[in-house]
Amino acid sequence: MVYYEHMLVLSWNSCYAGFMTDSILESISDGVFTVDADWRVSSFNKAAEKITGMKRVDAIGKLCHEVFRSNMCELECPLRRTMKTGKPIIDKKGYCISAEGERIPISVSTALLMDTNGQVAGGAETFRDLREIEDLKEKLHTKLQTRSGLETISSRSPAMLKILDLLPVVAESPSSVLLEGETGTGKELTARAIHELSLRKAGPFIALNCGALPDTLLESELFGYKKGAFTGAEKDKPGRFKLAENGTLFLDEIGDISPALQVKLLRVLQEKEYEALGSTVTEKAGARIICATNKDLKELVDKGTFRQDLFYRINVIRLSLPPLRHRKEDIPQLAEYFMQKYGKQMHKHPPVLSPEVYTAFYTYLWPGNIRELENVIERVVVLCTKNRVDTSTLPPEIVNPPAQANTKSHTSVDKSTGDMRSLKKQAERSLIVDALQKHGYHCSEAAHELGIDKATLYRKIKTYGIKLNRGKVDT
């Protein structure tokens, strides 16, 4: 690219008359075009035709922004900067829109064109198609995210970011972990992330919901049994501790197990050994234990329904996952993730959520948390027949949530109303930033997705202090 950039600093006459130069420009894979002093396209090579989808005969003589439709044209044109400062731009990233409307990621380099008197006669720009590279990067990124288990728990919430920062440190330790949080806050996903970030990632991750089984079944599921241990035990069956050997055993809803089974589980955690039902042979427990609960275990200890010694044993490292109502700044990111997920599953192009839908999302308290949001998005993808989702597709309890009980004074109500207004403003700012980032900071496209005109978008950008600086949003 640097070679091409120097090659293009040619005299004005040689740019048109040099047969060798023309041959080289036609043979390279990078798009190249030049403009005169009036910003009209004066040359356009074959690669430029291929990338932009515009024929040379149609491009010549047009203003460059009419041909090379890029997000950089609106915010800060690299070629204009070069023409102004005399300094070349090398490998500036952005995108252009092809004649077919396809958004193409590119890198751009610029140079001046000089006439025989050494005066600036125009400019030249080379641009490289980055679609293949971006596709490879996206595949690698998806692979790494899936492996780490972090694809849906990235966050902008300060409370959640603290937890995410701790996960690599927690993963390095062999100590037991207790994950607290309401139903649907992502406890199992967090447990999987800890496993994948640990030295045990090559081993199995085995999950068991303790609240879904009665005591007798739960014990056999945990420790396994030998043939003949009870009626129907026709062959040996390994338990979850055995299956999770050299890996991680995730015990969900640990607060639901009986006092009798708590004693047996405590022995495993203390002695690192257990016996299968019907066996006299003691086996070593080589799995790391991660427990999760949606209950207040300390309160259960105070009531006497959960053993204090077991609580201290599993509570070596405790992480409390915030509910979705306390991390509403993550709603756009989560919604977009689930839209893409279910769009792919159903072979549908995912529709765009309208600002009214996001307003309803921010107002709703999400008692089912992330799991509930996922279910709502799945419903939207199934039912929506248009390119844009309005509130008519949402469940009625989200559009018209029940009024919250007034257990406090009017002052509390006023404060709650103020907090909601503040939250809505934060949410709208976050929505605007997301739209700008999604469309490469092209304001026209971002405004179209948000369902507002460009002037309104600029006004909101100014109101919320979102600074457009060299094509980047300063958040």
**pLDDT of res. 68:** 83
Please count the CA atoms within 13 angstroms of the CA of 39 that sit on its side-chain side.
15
CA dist 132 and 120 (Å) reads 35
pLDDT band at 367 (very low <50, low <70, confident <90, very high): very high
Tens digits of per-residue pLDDT, 200-221?
999 999 999 998 888 888 999 9
Q: Do 464 and 432 meet the contact criterion of CB atoms below 8 Å apart?
A: yes
CA-closest candidate to residue 188, choices 286, 256, 290 = 290
According to DSSP, the residues that pair with 157 across neighbouring strands are none
Phi, psi at 352, each rounded to 5°: -95, 135
Q: What is the DSSP secondary-structure string of 165-210?
A: HHHHHHHH--S-EEEE--TTS-HHHHHHHHHHHSTTTTS-EEEEEG
Q: What dihedral do alpha carbons 435, 164, 137, 347 form, nearest 10°?
A: -60
SS3 282: strand
**pLDDT of res. 405:** 39
pLDDT band at 319 (very low <50, low <70, confident <90, very high): very high
Homologous superfamily assigned to 141-322 = P-loop containing nucleotide triphosphate hydrolases (3.40.50.300)
**Which of the four CATH numbers 3.40.50.300, 3.90.420.10, 3.30.450.20, 3.40.718.10 does domain 2-129 have?**
3.30.450.20
Q: What is the DSSP secondary-structure string of 323-348?
A: PGGG-GGGHHHHHHHHHHHHHHHTT-
| β pairing state of 288-293 and 248-252 | parallel
Look up residue 216 and give its two tokens.
Answer: 């007798």
Tens digits of per-residue pLDDT, 142-161?
444 444 445 446 778 888 88
Rg for the chain, CA atoms, rounded: 30
Which of the pair, 413 or 171, is modelled with greater confidence?
171
Please give the CATH number for the structural domain made up of 326-474. 1.10.8.60
**pLDDT of res. 403:** 58
Please count the CA atoms within 13 angstroms of the CA of 260 that sit on its side-chain side.
5
**pLDDT of res. 472:** 46
> Could you tell me the residue ranges of all domains in the chain?
2-129, 141-322, 326-474
CA dist 100 and 54 (Å) reads 9
Share of the chain above pLDDT 90, in %: 38
Q: How many other C-beta atoms can be found within 10 angstroms of the C-beta atom of residue 210?
A: 22
The angle subtended at Cα 42 by Cα 39 and Cα 46, nearest 5°, is 125
Output the pTM of the full model: 0.58
pLDDT at 4 over 50: no
According to DSSP, the residues that pair with 469 across neighbouring strands are 472
